[in-house]
């Protein structure tokens, strides 16, 4: 699959399953996010990984974009 195919078929995930993601996969995702382009090439970024279901449930109520 080419990078263009990946970009064209990307999707946004706004729902969550009751399934843990392996730590090494989480690290790869955060690493990829760190190297992704940003507006005005702002390199200082901070990512928060939420692992607790109660916190996800709380966050779901704070935005209309999470279901």
Sign of CA dihedral 17, 35, 28, 54: negative
Asked if 66 and 14 touch (Cβ cutoff 8 Å), the reply is yes
Structure-block tokens of residue 17: 């399953």
pLDDT digits (tens, 9 = 90+) for 25-47: 999 999 988 888 877 777 677 88
Query: What's the rounded mean pLDDT across residues 14-32?
Result: 87
Which is it for the CA torsion 14, 15, 18, 21, positive or negative?
negative
Evaluate if residue 64 carries a pLDDT over 90: no
Q: What is the pLDDT of residue 67?
A: 59
The pLDDT value recorded for residue 10 is 85
The DSSP call for residue 41 is G
């Amino acid at each position: 699959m080419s990078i263009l195919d990946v970009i064209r078929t990307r999707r946004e995930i706004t729902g969550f399953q009751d399934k843990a993601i392996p730590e090494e996969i989480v690290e790869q995702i955060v690493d990829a996010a760190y190297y992704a382009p940003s507006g005005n090439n702002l390199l200082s970024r901070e990512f928060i990984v939420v692992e607790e279901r109660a916190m996800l449930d709380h966050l779901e109520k704070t935005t209309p974009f999470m279901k």
